[in-house]
Structure 1
Amino acid sequence: MSATAVTPLTSADAETVIAAARAAAEAAGVPVSVTVLDAGGHLLAFRRDDGAVLISGETSTRKAYTALQLDTPTADLVDLVKPGGPFHTLPTALDKPLLFIAGGTPVHRDGRLIGAIGVGGGTPEQDHSFATTALEELIR
Protein backbone atom coordinates (compact mmCIF):
# COMPACT_ATOMS: atom_id res chain seq x y z
CA MET A 1 0.00 0.00 0.00
CA SER A 2 1.61 3.29 -1.04
CA ALA A 3 1.13 6.53 0.84
CA THR A 4 -0.32 9.49 -0.96
CA ALA A 5 2.35 12.08 -1.70
CA VAL A 6 2.01 15.36 0.12
CA THR A 7 3.25 18.52 -1.51
CA PRO A 8 6.28 19.70 0.45
CA LEU A 9 6.74 23.21 1.75
CA THR A 10 7.88 25.29 -1.22
CA SER A 11 9.93 28.46 -1.60
CA ALA A 12 6.70 30.26 -2.50
CA ASP A 13 5.12 28.95 0.73
CA ALA A 14 8.13 30.18 2.68
CA GLU A 15 7.83 33.65 1.15
CA THR A 16 4.14 33.73 2.11
CA VAL A 17 5.08 32.82 5.69
CA ILE A 18 7.84 35.43 5.89
CA ALA A 19 5.59 38.18 4.48
CA ALA A 20 2.69 37.35 6.80
CA ALA A 21 4.83 37.14 9.94
CA ARG A 22 6.63 40.37 9.08
CA ALA A 23 3.36 42.18 8.35
CA ALA A 24 1.94 41.12 11.72
CA ALA A 25 5.14 42.15 13.50
CA GLU A 26 5.35 45.45 11.65
CA ALA A 27 1.74 46.24 12.61
CA ALA A 28 2.77 45.70 16.23
CA GLY A 29 5.92 47.80 15.80
CA VAL A 30 8.23 44.85 16.53
CA PRO A 31 11.27 44.08 14.35
CA VAL A 32 11.68 40.28 14.11
CA SER A 33 13.56 37.43 12.53
CA VAL A 34 11.56 34.71 10.79
CA THR A 35 12.83 31.22 9.95
CA VAL A 36 11.12 28.62 7.77
CA LEU A 37 12.39 25.03 7.82
CA ASP A 38 11.39 22.17 5.55
CA ALA A 39 10.35 18.74 6.85
CA GLY A 40 13.99 17.64 7.09
CA GLY A 41 14.91 20.60 9.29
CA HIS A 42 16.77 22.39 6.50
CA LEU A 43 16.59 26.15 6.12
CA LEU A 44 14.09 27.09 3.44
CA ALA A 45 13.90 30.84 4.15
CA PHE A 46 15.14 33.37 6.68
CA ARG A 47 14.60 37.08 7.12
CA ARG A 48 15.88 39.44 9.83
CA ASP A 49 14.28 42.89 9.97
CA ASP A 50 16.47 45.95 10.30
CA GLY A 51 16.62 46.71 13.99
CA ALA A 52 15.74 43.17 15.16
CA VAL A 53 17.88 42.13 18.11
CA LEU A 54 20.82 40.08 16.90
CA ILE A 55 19.93 36.98 18.91
CA SER A 56 16.51 36.84 17.24
CA GLY A 57 18.02 35.10 14.24
CA GLU A 58 19.25 32.25 16.39
CA THR A 59 16.11 32.08 18.51
CA SER A 60 13.77 32.03 15.50
CA THR A 61 15.73 29.16 14.00
CA ARG A 62 15.83 27.17 17.24
CA LYS A 63 12.12 27.71 17.84
CA ALA A 64 11.33 26.41 14.35
CA TYR A 65 13.62 23.41 14.86
CA THR A 66 12.02 22.59 18.22
CA ALA A 67 8.49 22.85 16.81
CA LEU A 68 9.51 20.60 13.92
CA GLN A 69 11.27 17.94 16.01
CA LEU A 70 8.46 17.70 18.57
CA ASP A 71 5.64 18.46 16.11
CA THR A 72 4.15 20.88 18.62
CA PRO A 73 4.01 24.65 18.95
CA THR A 74 6.77 25.75 21.30
CA ALA A 75 4.19 27.72 23.30
CA ASP A 76 2.67 24.36 24.31
CA LEU A 77 6.03 23.05 25.55
CA VAL A 78 7.15 25.81 27.91
CA ASP A 79 5.50 24.44 31.07
CA LEU A 80 6.63 20.88 30.31
CA VAL A 81 10.31 21.76 30.68
CA LYS A 82 10.03 23.89 33.80
CA PRO A 83 11.42 22.44 37.04
CA GLY A 84 9.02 19.72 38.13
CA GLY A 85 7.62 19.36 34.61
CA PRO A 86 7.58 15.94 32.94
CA PHE A 87 10.28 16.93 30.44
CA HIS A 88 12.38 19.11 32.72
CA THR A 89 15.64 17.50 31.60
CA LEU A 90 14.85 17.45 27.88
CA PRO A 91 16.60 20.76 27.04
CA THR A 92 19.90 19.44 28.40
CA ALA A 93 19.48 15.73 27.65
CA LEU A 94 19.89 16.08 23.90
CA ASP A 95 22.68 17.60 21.89
CA LYS A 96 20.21 19.47 19.71
CA PRO A 97 19.47 23.20 19.29
CA LEU A 98 16.09 23.05 21.05
CA LEU A 99 14.52 26.19 22.50
CA PHE A 100 11.41 26.05 24.64
CA ILE A 101 10.17 29.61 24.20
CA ALA A 102 6.92 30.49 22.42
CA GLY A 103 7.28 31.49 18.78
CA GLY A 104 7.74 28.20 16.91
CA THR A 105 4.99 26.27 15.18
CA PRO A 106 4.92 23.16 13.00
CA VAL A 107 3.39 23.30 9.52
CA HIS A 108 1.10 20.51 8.32
CA ARG A 109 -0.41 19.77 4.94
CA ASP A 110 -3.01 17.03 4.50
CA GLY A 111 -2.30 15.89 8.06
CA ARG A 112 1.45 15.50 7.47
CA LEU A 113 4.28 17.51 8.98
CA ILE A 114 5.98 19.46 6.16
CA GLY A 115 8.03 22.06 8.04
CA ALA A 116 8.06 24.68 10.74
CA ILE A 117 8.01 28.42 11.35
CA GLY A 118 10.01 30.25 13.99
CA VAL A 119 9.74 33.90 14.98
CA GLY A 120 12.05 35.76 17.36
CA GLY A 121 12.46 39.38 18.39
CA GLY A 122 9.32 40.20 20.33
CA THR A 123 8.00 38.86 23.60
CA PRO A 124 7.25 35.13 23.53
CA GLU A 125 3.53 35.92 23.28
CA GLN A 126 4.11 38.29 20.37
CA ASP A 127 6.36 35.83 18.55
CA HIS A 128 3.75 33.08 18.97
CA SER A 129 1.07 35.40 17.62
CA PHE A 130 3.19 36.36 14.59
CA ALA A 131 4.01 32.69 13.83
CA THR A 132 0.35 31.70 14.19
CA THR A 133 -0.73 34.53 11.89
CA ALA A 134 1.81 33.38 9.30
CA LEU A 135 0.59 29.79 9.55
CA GLU A 136 -3.02 30.88 9.11
CA GLU A 137 -2.07 32.85 6.00
CA LEU A 138 -0.25 29.83 4.57
CA ILE A 139 -3.13 27.39 5.05
CA ARG A 140 -5.77 29.71 3.53
Structure 2
Amino acid sequence: MSPTTVAPLTTQDAETLVHAARDAAEAAGATVSVTVLDAGGHPLVFLRDDRAVLISGETSTRKAYTALQLNVPTADLVDTVQPGGPFHTLPTALDRPLLFIAGGIPVRRDGRLIGAIGVGGRTPEQDQDLASAAVEALA
Protein backbone atom coordinates (compact mmCIF):
# COMPACT_ATOMS: atom_id res chain seq x y z
CA MET A 1 0.00 0.00 0.00
CA SER A 2 1.15 3.49 -0.75
CA PRO A 3 1.31 6.03 2.09
CA THR A 4 -1.94 7.65 0.89
CA THR A 5 -3.88 4.38 0.72
CA VAL A 6 -6.00 3.47 3.70
CA ALA A 7 -7.29 -0.05 4.16
CA PRO A 8 -11.05 -0.22 3.70
CA LEU A 9 -13.47 -1.33 6.37
CA THR A 10 -13.55 -5.12 6.13
CA THR A 11 -16.26 -7.56 7.09
CA GLN A 12 -14.04 -8.59 10.00
CA ASP A 13 -13.83 -4.94 11.12
CA ALA A 14 -17.61 -4.64 10.82
CA GLU A 15 -18.12 -7.78 12.88
CA THR A 16 -15.77 -6.38 15.54
CA LEU A 17 -17.88 -3.21 15.65
CA VAL A 18 -21.17 -5.09 15.88
CA HIS A 19 -19.94 -7.48 18.56
CA ALA A 20 -18.48 -4.64 20.63
CA ALA A 21 -21.77 -2.72 20.45
CA ARG A 22 -23.75 -5.86 21.28
CA ASP A 23 -21.48 -6.71 24.22
CA ALA A 24 -21.79 -3.16 25.57
CA ALA A 25 -25.57 -3.33 25.13
CA GLU A 26 -25.79 -6.64 26.96
CA ALA A 27 -23.68 -5.25 29.81
CA ALA A 28 -26.12 -2.34 30.04
CA GLY A 29 -29.17 -4.61 29.86
CA ALA A 30 -30.15 -3.06 26.52
CA THR A 31 -31.58 -4.63 23.37
CA VAL A 32 -30.57 -2.88 20.16
CA SER A 33 -29.97 -3.13 16.46
CA VAL A 34 -26.58 -2.34 14.97
CA THR A 35 -25.76 -1.50 11.35
CA VAL A 36 -22.29 -1.11 9.86
CA LEU A 37 -21.87 0.45 6.42
CA ASP A 38 -18.76 0.61 4.25
CA ALA A 39 -17.49 3.88 2.76
CA GLY A 40 -19.87 3.51 -0.19
CA GLY A 41 -22.90 3.24 2.09
CA HIS A 42 -23.34 -0.49 1.52
CA PRO A 43 -24.29 -2.68 4.49
CA LEU A 44 -21.50 -4.92 5.74
CA VAL A 45 -23.11 -6.28 8.91
CA PHE A 46 -26.53 -5.86 10.51
CA LEU A 47 -27.65 -7.37 13.80
CA ARG A 48 -30.98 -6.91 15.58
CA ASP A 49 -31.40 -8.42 19.00
CA ASP A 50 -34.56 -10.51 18.74
CA ARG A 51 -35.95 -8.60 21.73
CA ALA A 52 -35.24 -5.14 20.28
CA VAL A 53 -38.10 -3.01 19.01
CA LEU A 54 -38.62 -3.60 15.31
CA ILE A 55 -38.07 0.02 14.27
CA SER A 56 -34.54 -0.12 15.74
CA GLY A 57 -33.35 -1.88 12.60
CA GLU A 58 -34.43 1.02 10.44
CA THR A 59 -33.15 3.68 12.83
CA SER A 60 -29.74 2.03 13.20
CA THR A 61 -29.35 1.94 9.42
CA ARG A 62 -30.47 5.53 8.92
CA LYS A 63 -28.18 6.77 11.69
CA ALA A 64 -25.20 5.01 10.12
CA TYR A 65 -26.08 6.39 6.69
CA THR A 66 -26.42 9.94 8.02
CA ALA A 67 -23.11 9.77 9.89
CA LEU A 68 -21.42 8.42 6.77
CA GLN A 69 -22.86 10.96 4.33
CA LEU A 70 -22.12 13.96 6.53
CA ASN A 71 -18.93 12.52 8.08
CA VAL A 72 -19.97 13.58 11.57
CA PRO A 73 -21.61 11.83 14.54
CA THR A 74 -25.38 12.22 14.37
CA ALA A 75 -25.36 13.49 17.97
CA ASP A 76 -23.50 16.57 16.70
CA LEU A 77 -26.22 17.31 14.15
CA VAL A 78 -29.38 17.26 16.24
CA ASP A 79 -29.47 21.01 16.96
CA THR A 80 -28.56 22.01 13.39
CA VAL A 81 -31.79 20.56 11.96
CA GLN A 82 -34.15 22.06 14.53
CA PRO A 83 -36.40 24.94 13.43
CA GLY A 84 -34.17 27.97 13.09
CA GLY A 85 -31.04 25.81 12.78
CA PRO A 86 -28.70 26.23 9.83
CA PHE A 87 -29.75 22.91 8.25
CA HIS A 88 -33.38 22.74 9.38
CA THR A 89 -34.58 21.74 5.89
CA LEU A 90 -31.97 19.03 5.34
CA PRO A 91 -34.06 16.13 6.72
CA THR A 92 -36.68 16.71 4.02
CA ALA A 93 -34.50 18.18 1.25
CA LEU A 94 -33.11 14.87 0.05
CA ASP A 95 -34.76 11.67 -1.02
CA ARG A 96 -32.46 9.68 1.25
CA PRO A 97 -32.91 8.02 4.63
CA LEU A 98 -31.22 10.64 6.83
CA LEU A 99 -31.95 10.55 10.56
CA PHE A 100 -30.73 13.24 12.92
CA ILE A 101 -30.86 11.34 16.20
CA ALA A 102 -27.79 10.40 18.25
CA GLY A 103 -26.43 6.90 17.66
CA GLY A 104 -24.58 7.16 14.34
CA ILE A 105 -20.80 7.56 14.16
CA PRO A 106 -18.40 7.71 11.21
CA VAL A 107 -15.62 5.13 11.29
CA ARG A 108 -12.19 6.39 10.33
CA ARG A 109 -8.81 4.77 9.79
CA ASP A 110 -5.73 6.97 9.76
CA GLY A 111 -8.05 9.97 9.67
CA ARG A 112 -9.89 8.80 6.54
CA LEU A 113 -13.58 7.90 6.42
CA ILE A 114 -14.00 4.16 5.84
CA GLY A 115 -17.58 3.56 6.97
CA ALA A 116 -20.08 4.19 9.74
CA ILE A 117 -21.94 2.47 12.54
CA GLY A 118 -25.46 3.11 13.72
CA VAL A 119 -27.15 1.85 16.88
CA GLY A 120 -30.89 2.02 17.50
CA GLY A 121 -33.29 0.77 20.12
CA ARG A 122 -32.59 2.70 23.31
CA THR A 123 -32.48 6.40 24.11
CA PRO A 124 -30.42 8.48 21.70
CA GLU A 125 -27.77 9.02 24.38
CA GLN A 126 -27.54 5.29 25.12
CA ASP A 127 -27.34 4.47 21.41
CA GLN A 128 -24.54 7.02 21.02
CA ASP A 129 -22.63 5.53 23.95
CA LEU A 130 -22.91 2.02 22.47
CA ALA A 131 -21.76 3.18 19.05
CA SER A 132 -18.85 5.04 20.65
CA ALA A 133 -17.84 1.93 22.59
CA ALA A 134 -17.83 -0.05 19.36
CA VAL A 135 -15.65 2.47 17.52
CA GLU A 136 -13.22 2.55 20.45
CA ALA A 137 -12.99 -1.26 20.35
CA LEU A 138 -11.96 -1.14 16.70
CA ALA A 139 -9.18 1.38 17.29
Which ranges of structure 2 fall in alignment gaps of 5 or more residues?
Answer: none
Give the letter for the 2:106 counterpart: P
Give the whole-Å Cα distance in 2 for the aligned partners of 1:93 and 1:12: 35
Q: CA deviation at 1:28?
A: 1.0
Give the whole-Å Cα distance in 1 for the aligned partners of 2:132 and 2:44: 18
Give the whole-Å Cα distance in 2 for the aligned partners of 1:132 and 1:18: 11
Give the whole-Å Cα distance in 2 for the aligned partners of 1:67 and 1:53: 22
Identity, % of aligned positions? 78
Q: Alignment RMSD, CA only?
A: 1.0
Residue in 2 aligned with 1:20?
20
Residue in 2 aligned with 1:94?
94
- CA-to-partner distance for each residue in 1:5-60, whole Å, 9 max, x for gaps? 11000011011101100011111111000000000000000000020000000000
Count of residue pairs the alignment pairs up: 138
Displacement over 2 Å in runs of 4+: none
Residue in 2 aligned with 1:115?
115
Give the letter for the 2:94 counterpart: L
- CA-to-partner distance for each residue in 1:79-133, whole Å, 9 max, x for gaps? 0000111100000011110000000000011111000000000100000000000
Residue in 1 aligned with 2:59?
59
Residue in 2 aligned with 1:40?
40
Give the whole-Å Cα distance in 2 for the aligned partners of 1:124 and 1:72: 15
TM-score norm. by structure 1 comes to 0.96
Which ranges of structure 1 fall in alignment gaps of 5 or more residues?
Answer: none
Q: CA deviation at 1:3?
A: 6.7
Give the letter for the 1:35 counterpart: T
